[in-house]
Amino acid sequence: MEQQRSTSESSQSPRSPPSQRYLSVSVSDPVKLGNGVQGYISYRVITKTNFPEYQGSEKIVIRRYSDFVWLRDRLFDKYNGIFVPPLPEKSARSSDLVLNLLIRRQALDVFVNRIASHNELQQSEDFRTFLQADEEDVQSKVSDVVLGKEKPLEESNPEYEKLKHYVFELENHLTEAQKHAYCLLKRHRELGQSLSGIGKAAKLLGACEGQALGKAFDELGAKSETLSIKLQKEAHQLLMNLEEPMKDYVRAVQSIKVTIGERANAFRHQCELAETMKLKEINLDKLMLTRSDRVGEAEQEYKELKAESEEVTRRFETIVRRMNEEIVRFQEQKTQDMRIAFHEFAKGQARLAKSIADAWRSLLPKLEVCSDTS
């Protein structure tokens, strides 16, 4: 995914022809500031663009995690029906601070670039504020958003039910794939550590043996330590190119589920207003039959309610239309990203298997010679 995004950014760089619009954003240089509960991580966000609505062709600002949360929540509130990109978790997953910063920086970079590449989200005024405003101005806008429990869905539509089934099944499959990817990279790390230990032990044993056997043991130790390094490197590649992309798509699916909840709320609101209109209409008919002096008031209430109902219906239809467009875009992007992730995974495993086989194969003749002379 990193390779894919780099390619995308290179096609929209400041070197592009003046007639071609570009918006390039990068997140870099995570720095820990403060201590204890007051501590936080700041990031450098660099924007390069020729969009006329932006202040200059390049802008560098400092942002913290809560600023990214603010942006995500603002986009979600204003772009109903669009799959707003997900954010990485706030809590650290391991005690390795450097690794945690590396993973989160990459995920935040993916987050802003997905917004920058989205035809509608890139036009958001809040996104421009995030990329250009002074740190104090952005912090003044930041507010924590607490999401309530999703209400049960009520819409009965075969295509919509199919979509929901797809989303919930996809989340399960991605979660399972991410779990096994983590297990695999953990095994690589453990095997690498074990080989390193065997390598050191073999060298020590070689020092106690004769020249031929000692030399073979020493070479066995060197091969073990070399393979240990390769396994550790491959474990890191698995983390960045397979496990993290899987985890990112789990978050993306969870974002889609939030949008599904928003659609359910809009549908429910539409149904409630439609029911209220029916009651108002019945009441209006009764007042007209009895020639009540409240007819005028009831007609005005009904007119206002009808206008509100039409607006809510338009909002619901907009969400449905956007979701139908977004799910196609999401599936195409997912197919491409998964192809890249598994292609890189297969290449890495093939390289590792060849390195391991070549290393032990080159050592066999020397060990066999020692066995024959003993």
Domains of the chain, start order = 1-141 (3.30.1520.10), 147-374 (1.20.1270.60)
pTM (predicted TM-score): 0.67
Per-residue pLDDT reduced to its tens digit, 321-366: 999 999 999 999 999 999 999 999 999 999 999 999 998 998 888 7
pLDDT at 1: 40
Q: What is the pLDDT of residue 101?
A: 86
**pLDDT one-digit tens code per residue, 88-141:** 887 766 677 788 888 999 999 999 999 999 999 999 999 999 999 887 677 666
pLDDT in the model for residue 9: 42
* Residues 6 or more apart whose Cβ sits within 8 Å of residue 32: 39, 40, 41, 97
Amino acid at residue number 192: G
Query: What pLDDT does residue 4 have?
Result: 40
Which of 270, 275, 278 shows the shortest CA–CA distance to 317?
270
Interatomic CA distance for residues 251 and 83, integer angstroms: 11
Average pLDDT for residues 297-316, to the nearest whole number? 91
Query: CB-based contacts of 276: which residues, under 8 Å, 6+ apart?
Result: 305
pLDDT tens for 141-179 read: 664 333 333 344 467 888 888 999 999 999 999 999 999
Nearest CA-CA partner of 103 in 115, 117, 118, 87 = 87
Highest-pLDDT range among 17-21, 151-155, 268-272, 291-295: 268-272
Which residues 6+ apart lie within 8 Å of 268 measured at CB? 151, 154
Nearest C-alpha neighbor of 330 from the set 167, 113, 181, 159: 167
